[in-house]
Amino acid sequence: MILEKAKEVLEEYGLCNHCLGRLFAKLGTGSNEERGKAIRLVLEMETGLNFEEPDECDLCGGVFRKIPEFVDLCIEAVKDYEFETFRIGSRFPQEIIEKEREIWTKFKIETGEPINREFNRELGKAFAVKTGKKPSTNPDLVIVVEPFSKKVELQVNPIYVAGRYRKLVRGIPQTPAPGFKESVATIICRAFRKHFNGKCVFKGAGREDVDVRMLGRGRPFVVEIKRPKKRKIDLEDVEREINSSRKVEVLDLRLITPREAEEILTRRHRKLYEALVYVKDGVSREEVEKVVRELTGAEIRQRTPRRVLNSRADLVRVRKVYKAEGELIDDKHFKLRLLTDGGLYIKELISGDKGRTTPSVSEILGKEAWCELLDVLEVLEDDADVEGDS
């Protein structure tokens, strides 16, 4: 059957050994070129006819003979990038793809392999031999070759790094904002951009207000470095450079996968806060104890605070306070430490936000109270929502 079909095809098309062997790729092992050579040889021996390989293939135009040239083009394209793994892709003209399908249909070929698949494999093997790099299904780089235009396009896969950040000073937003020269994101990304030589995108697991410090072990975050030219980076060097700002510190930096990045950013957290509460009409030790007693274990119904209505949907969220501790400072101030679900706005928990949060410290005291200072002491993993939390 093979010889009969091969004879019919070669009587109409001058195919190279690659394209001839590829018609029967599913019928055996070995390369398509070797298969094509063997078929041609046996066919000539059995028929006595000359089926010599043509100088230029009617299907591929001789692209397989140019593999060494394409290897050099690929090496030139990747010269500025550090990488260990790669994958080859290709774009063949539509007329070549259609011509191959026409041959399969006309001669009822059901054992063929698409031309681009063989080209990618053969170019990949040659590129690996010459560069010492490894082919991979999850590579650092994807090299896309257009064999007929000789164009080479690079798809540089991003690098993901996870860690935790501590914001040691007030007055810095998490991400760039009008009126602020820098942010947590710009301080962190400045170092990543420099070391990896790529574009840095910062994403935090929740956020704190400009005037809120993030202390303890810090808040989880992920940076995505797009089109990095450098990959062999000592993350301790990046950590030291960020920490030298004395405004933001990072710890536990590590390389992660895209799936791990998504898990970190969608994971639920409880938060431990410390607030300095001001009560204009004065507060007593007994009143502080009452606040602690009534907030511990309380379910808080909180309508979206007015200050964030421009960026949050106006709806009621139910969040829990797991634990509360209080300490009287003077006749108008007390410290309030709270362990809560993520997504609970603490400033509004204290002020009541004109009744939009209930219960609140103001409601419990029966007099106005508001937050003068707020710190996030810890971000703890659990099953609470990740959302705005200041």
Instruction: Tell me what percent of the residues of the chain surpass a pLDDT of 90.
Output: 91
Task: Write down the pLDDT at residue 3.
Answer: 92
Angle, helices 115-131 vs 94-106, to 10°: value is: 120
Q: What is the pLDDT of residues 307-350, one digit of tens each?
A: 989 888 899 999 999 999 999 999 999 999 999 999 999 999 99
pLDDT of residue 383: 47
- Determine which helix (DSSP H) or strand (DSSP E) holds 15, and give its type and residue range: none
Report residue 364 as tokens: 């419990």
CA 258 to each of CA 11, 138, 142, 215: distance values in angstroms, whole numbers, following the listed order: 52, 11, 17, 27
Distance (Å, rounded) from C-alpha 331 to C-alpha 209?
A: 27
Amino acid at 26: K
- 26 burial type by CB count under 10 A (0-12 exposed, 13-18 middle, 19+ buried): exposed
pTM of the model: 0.87
Q: Give the integer Cα–Cα distance in Å for 155 and 295.
A: 53
Q: Which residues are annotated as a binding site for substrate?
A: 273, 345
CA dist 246 and 249 (Å) reads 7
Secondary element (H or E) of residue 99: helix 94-106
Alpha carbons 84 and 153: distance in angstroms, whole number: 18
pLDDT at 49: 85
Residues 358/308, Cβ–Cβ less than 8 Å: no
Residue 328, token pair as written in the block:
């009287």
Say which CATH class 159-266 falls into.
Answer: alpha beta
Average pLDDT estimate for 194-220 = 97
Model pLDDT, residue 113: 96
- In degrees and rounded to multiples of 5, residue 182 shows phi and psi of -145, 170
Task: Output the pLDDT for position 124.
Answer: 98
C-alpha 377/C-alpha 338 separation (Å) is: 10
What is the spatial distance between Cα 327 and Cα 84, in angstroms, rounded to a whole number?
57
Q: Report pLDDT for 1.
A: 80
- pLDDT tens digit sequence for 86-126: 999 999 999 999 999 999 999 999 999 999 999 999 999 99
Per residue in 34-46, pLDDT (tens digit) is 999 999 999 989 8
**CA–CA dist 290, 364 (Å, integer):** 8
Q: What is the pLDDT of residue 268?
A: 87
Asked whether the predicted pLDDT for residue 357 surpasses 50, the reply is yes
Which are the contacts of 289, defined by CB distance < 8 A and separation ≥ 6?
Answer: 326
Q: Do domains 159-266 and 271-379 have the same CATH topology?
A: yes
Average pLDDT (214-238) is: 97
Measure the CA–CA gap between 112 and 120, rounded to whole angstroms. 16
What is the C-alpha separation between 203 and 156, in angstroms, rounded?
20
- pLDDT for 382 equals 61
CB-based burial, 195-229: b 16+ in 10 Å, e otherwise: bbbbebebebbbbbbbebbbbbebbbbbbbbebbe
What are the structural domain ranges in the chain?
Answer: 1-156, 159-266, 271-379
Catalytic residue among 140, 209, 341, 353: 209
> Six-digit token pair at 10?
């070669």
pLDDT tens, 121-166? 999 999 999 999 999 999 999 999 999 999 999 999 999 999 999 9
**Known binding-site positions:** 273, 345
Contact 249, 213 (CB under 8 A): no
The two structure tokens encoding residue 67: 């593999």
Rounded to an integer, what distance in angstroms lies between the CA atom of residue 284 and that of residue 331? 7
Quick check: bond before 359 cis, omega within 30?
yes
Q: Is 209 a catalytic residue?
A: yes
Q: What is the rounded distance in angstroms from the CA atom of residue 260 to the CA atom of residue 264?
A: 6
**Residue corresponding to tokens 């200050």:** 307
Q: Which pLDDT value is given to residue 234?
A: 97
How far apart, in whole angstroms, are the C-alpha atoms of residue 233 and residue 196?
7
Q: Is 106 left (phi over 0), alpha (psi -120 to 50) or beta?
A: alpha
Compute the mean pLDDT over every residue in the chain, rounded to the nearest whole number.
Answer: 95
pLDDT at 6 exceeding the cut of 90: yes
Per CATH, domain 271-379 is 3.30.70.3190: yes
